[in-house]
Structure 1
Amino acid sequence: MPAAPSAAARPDRRHEVALAARDTVGVGMGYLPLGAAFGVLLATSGLAWWWAPVFSVLIYAGSMEFLAIGLVTGGVGLAQVAATTFFVNFRHVFYGLSFPLLKIRSALGRLYGVHALTDEAYALLATKPQQGLTGTRVLATQVICHLYWLTGSTAGALLGARLGLDAEGLGFALTALFVVLTIDAFRAAPDLPTLLVALACAALALVVAPGSMLVIALTAFVLVLIARFALGTRRRAAPAATGEHHLATAPAEPGTRPVRDGGARPREDQDA
């Protein structure tokens, strides 16, 4: 049996949590005011303040939580709620393709990792070198982001219920946060062609179907990436196949005869 890793070889959990806390500072600066805006909107919509932590724990999907206020207060049926949730969070299907969920070893931790897979957590973790990423850091990043949102939404709901605050204009914090995360992701892994393809897909979807822009843009982007990967694989395979072909058909040296494996052997009927 292989020996268990020594204490020195194991990653320090406190160090991993500290790294996650450092990574999530920027997310917290966006989550706290945006969560507060959600809490204020919830309180001013007639719901009790304690619905804010309930929504933040059970739903935990920023844009969907904002929509859920109108769905709950408007008495919308379950079928419409399910359809709305599917289209709003459809992008998470693509996130799962490259999110480092397998770094988490426990089944319970993976279930939480799926639940807490937000845009910001994905942007923070999917761009980091996978060989140095641990399950502790992945979970800590998601838990800290969740706590930021929970704190902001609960505080906003309490303030909105007591002071009658207005949430108008605070929703722009989400857009600003996405812009900052995109810049950080590009700095970590500069890839101008991919960025331009993403912008082109978004612009095209916005023109073709503004109401379903996100679903169409992400679908088109994934299809382009698959085609680009297949084309790159074919181009890399072509030189190797060409080289093998040249080797198999290369002319033999004088006094030898060619064989199928590309080598040559002396003629049996040649004495000198």
Structure 2
Amino acid sequence: MGLGFVPLGLAFGALVVQSGLDWWWAGLSAALVYGGSFEFLLIGMVAAAAPPAAIAGTAFMVNIRHVFYTLSFPLHRMRGRLGKAYGTFALSDEAYALTAGEKAQSWSGRRILWLQLFMHLYWAGSATAGALLGSLVPDSVTGLDFALTALFTVLALDALKDLRGDLSTPAFALLSAVAALLLRPGQMLLAAFALFTAGLLTRHVTTTRRPSRA
């Protein structure tokens, strides 16, 4: 996953330079924001001189999905306030996807923190390198922002393997996304997560057997 961050970070850094921003924007954003998909949006908003309120609102809408991640992210395995604080800050989609698998259930909090730290370094380092080398990328090259979509596609395919033939969950996720896109296109991500979570809770309540009375 860390190696997968390299072409993504290079694409992000090159996009920063192509947007007319100074190269150091890439490293600063990667180190302090570390928002993945939001950082791609942030570059366009900064280049367009968007008001801070609009940037804050967009950050909230895009990253609110992390609230749902914390419901099952193994933060309780991490020791100390500093470890828990960094684990919360560095909770990315990729870190969550890796720790949600069956094999990761035995991982210690220390291992998860090192995993998050190295992915953070991969992202910040490759983004800075991409910005410094961005001038070498011709302006005719397009589609750099699609690198993020490609990474999420790979994560989705890996998640399907852990379902062991159960296609009801991804089918319901797809249905939630389509419904949110049609009903709330301006708040599609938040609406999709809300619908998906509500559906999972409903399925859990209806399928869980009540304990028999002695």
When normalised by structure 1's length, the TM-score is 0.72
> How has the CA–CA distance of structure 1 residues 153 and 131 changed in structure 2, closer, same or farther, with 3 Å as cutoff?
closer
Code of the aligned partner of 1:39: G
| 1:169 corresponds to 2:143 | yes
Code of the aligned partner of 2:39: E
The alpha-carbon deviation at position 129 of structure 1 amounts to 4.7
Distance (Å, rounded) in 1 between the aligned partners of 2:175 and 2:163: 19
1:123 corresponds to: 97
Distance (Å, rounded) in 1 between the aligned partners of 2:154 and 2:145: 15
1:107 corresponds to: 81
Code of the aligned partner of 1:107: R
Q: Does the Cα contact within 8 Å between 1:159 and 1:165 map onto a contact in 2?
A: no
SS of equivalent residue, structure 1 residue 143? helix
| 1:206 corresponds to 2:181 | yes
Code of the aligned partner of 1:192: L
1:237 corresponds to: 210
State the aligned residue count: 212
1:196 corresponds to: 171
Distance (Å, rounded) in 2 between the aligned partners of 1:138 and 1:206: 34
| 1:43 corresponds to 2:43 | no
1:180 to 146, 150, 154: 154
In structure 2, stretches of 5+ residues that fail to align are none
The alpha-carbon deviation at position 207 of structure 1 amounts to 2.2
2:114 corresponds to: 140
SS of equivalent residue, structure 1 residue 35? helix
Distance (Å, rounded) in 2 between the aligned partners of 1:98 and 1:174: 24
SS of equivalent residue, structure 1 residue 97? coil
Distance (Å, rounded) in 2 between the aligned partners of 1:164 and 1:69: 18
| 1:32 corresponds to 2:6 | yes
Code of the aligned partner of 1:224: G
Code of the aligned partner of 2:192: A
SS of equivalent residue, structure 1 residue 237? coil
**Structure with bigger gyration radius:** 1
**Structure with greater contact order relative to length (CA < 8 Å, sep ≥ 6):** 2
| 1:75 corresponds to 2:49 | yes
SS of equivalent residue, structure 1 residue 138? helix
The alpha-carbon deviation at position 49 of structure 1 amounts to 1.1
Code of the aligned partner of 1:172: F
- Residues 98-138 of structure 1: CA deviation (Å, up to 9, x unaligned): 11111111211111111111111111112235651201111
What do you get for the CA RMSD once the two structures are aligned?
1.8
Q: Does the Cα contact within 8 Å between 1:43 and 1:157 map onto a contact in 2?
A: yes
1:221 corresponds to: 196
- Report matched runs for 1:12-31 at 5 Å: 24=1, 27-29=2-4, 31=5
2:132 to 136, 141, 158: 158
Higher helix content, 1 or 2? 2
Distance (Å, rounded) in 2 between the aligned partners of 1:44 and 1:182: 29
- Residues 41-85 of structure 1: CA deviation (Å, up to 9, x unaligned): 111222221221111000011111112122223322221111111
> How has the CA–CA distance of structure 1 residues 131 and 38 changed in structure 2, closer, same or farther, with 3 Å as cutoff?
closer
Q: Does the Cα contact within 8 Å between 1:37 and 1:156 map onto a contact in 2?
A: yes
Distance (Å, rounded) in 1 between the aligned partners of 2:47 and 2:63: 21
SS of equivalent residue, structure 1 residue 99? coil
SS of equivalent residue, structure 1 residue 175? helix
Code of the aligned partner of 2:210: A
Code of the aligned partner of 1:109: G
Q: Does the Cα contact within 8 Å between 1:104 and 1:135 map onto a contact in 2?
A: yes
- Report matched runs for 1:5-16 at 5 Å: none
Code of the aligned partner of 1:219: A
Distance (Å, rounded) in 2 between the aligned partners of 1:130 and 1:32: 23
